[in-house]
A and B are shown apart, each in its own frame.
Chain A
């Protein structure tokens, strides 16, 4: 006998475009279901990392269980499963959705539908979730709820005439949402007596409990002592504790049975063993099949991370190891650069993921980092039939050994108001996009579909998109696959020495342009030395662009009397400080930020 009545459980998530009010609504739901008093509320309970709060996004998914006493007098258990809000974490989103039975779609009453709204809705529908819309921010002067209601019905094709019109910020009409959850989201199904089948949708490392696995029990029951097996990774452990997560803390319980959402701990040491999307089963009485949809998440973007101070190499390694305990999608391995010394080649889900990790390393672990230009994973097909997945441009084989190369392509959907369609199409052309089509969502907005090479969008595509549409365009993408492409390695020579950390892969057609701009950028970044420094860009040993940093002839303070001494010292200190942030390559000192120059090539 299950301890909890399955019919009284509602497993759901909130989906929304960024900034449409997902976290605020989650806060309200948690607050109004009374598990926490207002006093206990932090402003955004689900986002428990400072970094996330600053960026206004949620990185790791989590599930919160609350209890709601509905108007019918019954108590319902709400499991609110939070989903990450960025395209980098699409796979995690899909697994979180798979743990739910329904979804609340939040649409901003002023903004209407955006690219991510659509992408998320389609994803939810793919998972057979019942989606009901909520129109948020109706307290804004610019709110147009009627218009948004029509848009939801026309564009997405789901009923919206009875969509609650709310202000999550003020709490207005949020109770309607609670009732709608009870009414519109189906109760879970599943047999508590069947063999255990549980979906992992998140896991995190805790130094006391080991890995804490968040899962949705689809079939069967798990309790303390159950010997569980992760079906994809094969890891097996005995369960130490089961329970659920209630705003900010863990509540152990006796068992989790079909339909429930909660956590399991089993003295697992590494999140690598508990991959998101994997199925947990009972090792003694395994289920027939794992749940569908598991895939091993692979990094899409790689870059080199080096400690600014070479002596901090071990600190960096330890910090990466710690982060990896909680983030199975973070990859790293040692690498050496002639220019930068000892460091790590790191793989990330996307550029945002990279930035988050980089910031956490700098902020939480107090490390000063030099980052090399991010690169996607290229496939190099050699004449001998071998295929290499290239994550570091330096490792590109000799061109004579290469049959052909492939690069990753994404399918992108860009939603933009019609006045900017031209500008955005131009941008996509510049980025080697293949136009697939355009749909008008309504008179003033269009959805552009493009195939784009991933390496064209990882640097600054999002910024360019925003600036060319005055902030109105939104963007979402999916990996499409690999396509053959004419790619070359662009090398940079400083004072006639190749600087490995500055090499990058580029499409042959843009090699000259990028090489030229790279030289110009480096000329700005590299300070004058006592000698002249040529900066050259080369492809396959052939120089295609050159700039020169002129020799410094004069750096002298003509006057230094009694009143000048303190000031003079400040000047010298600054000079010395500046030098510390330099990397010695041959006899040239290169500022650390120069290694990120390639990212700024498109600055106007």
Chain B
């Protein structure tokens, strides 16, 4: 959550050093992109819990209560399946990245930051989303009874 604040400061630092000191610090752009990526990816599970992932409820709101309960379970099930598949596909990708200790090559040997960990951030994000669906699913099933 606080990463937005840090991104703000990093970007201001980047602009400031370039303009006032005439020094381009390329580390800043990496850091701000990583922080942004972590913010949205890791925030996915929290947003799911808070009901923040937008859905279109025009039909949902008009159907009978029982059908709505079925839809609830179907919907959360689709999130769960998507999450599981993303984990299954993503984990090997992140694993290979770790095995070769993947680095970013954009700046050659000037600055080659490791990025294998960032791929794990993607995997962990989908793991968290998948895990978050479980209590939600249990909740819906409980309501069903």
User: Do the two chains belong together in a single complex?
Assistant: no
B residues neighboring A (CB under 8 Å)? none
A residues neighboring B (CB under 8 Å)? none
